[in-house]
Amino acid sequence: MKRVSLAEQLFITPAFMLVLCWQYWLWSRTDWKPEYAHTKWQLIPLFLLVILAWRGLSYQKEQLDELASANMKRCDAICYKVAFCLLLVIAFAGGILSHVELLNAVSMGWMILAVLFAMSILRTALFVLFDKKGM
C-alpha cells in the first residue's frame, strides 16, 4: 500500500473547500432546479467516502514526522493570523456597508468562503515552502 504523506493530506483541504463553495452556491440560489438537489446529494457523500474516510484511515497508519508537524504548526499560525485579519475586515465592512445596502449576506458569505479557500491554498503553499527549506 502506498504511504500517504502530510503534504498529500494538505491537498485535500482545497478540494474540501471547493465542495463547500459548491454547497454554498446551491444554498444561496434564488432559482432552484431539480438538478441541483441531485448534485447536492451525490457530491457530498462521494467526497466524504473517498477523500476523508479512505485517505484519513491510511494517514493514521503512518508515523508522525516531527519536522513536518512543526512546519504544520508554523503554517497554521501564519494562516490563522492572516485569516483573522481578513475576516475582521469583512465583518466591519458588513457592519458599515449594510446600512447603505451596498453589502448583503450572500456577498459576505462569498467573501468568507473566498478567505477560507485562500487560506487552504496558502497553508498548502507555505507547508511545501517550509518543507523544501527543511525549516
* Claim: this prediction has a pTM higher than 0.85: no
- Looking at residue 61, what is its pLDDT? 62
CA-to-CA dists, residue 72 to 86, 92, 130, angstroms: 21, 30, 9
Asked if 13 and 128 touch (Cβ cutoff 8 Å), the reply is no
- Looking at residue 86, what is its pLDDT? 92
For the stretch 66-119, pLDDT in tens is 777 787 788 888 888 999 999 998 888 888 887 777 888 888 888 999 999 998
Please tell me whether residue 65 adopts helix, strand or coil conformation.
coil
Confidence of residue 43 (pLDDT cuts 50, 70, 90): confident
Q: Is the pLDDT of residue 2 over 50?
A: no
Q: Is the pLDDT of residue 121 over 50?
A: yes
CA 76 – CA 97 distance, rounded (Å): 31
- Looking at residue 1, what is its pLDDT? 43
Closest by CA to 108, choosing from 92, 126, 125, 129, is: 92
Phi, psi of 133 (to 5 degrees): -75, -20
Please tell me whether residue 61 adopts helix, strand or coil conformation.
coil
DSSP classification of residue 5: P
CA 44 – CA 57 distance, rounded (Å): 18
- Looking at residue 48, what is its pLDDT? 72
Q: What percent of the chain has pLDDT over 70?
A: 79
Between residues 108 and 47, the one the model is more confident about: 108
Angle at 24 between CA 115 and CA 76, to 5 degrees: 30
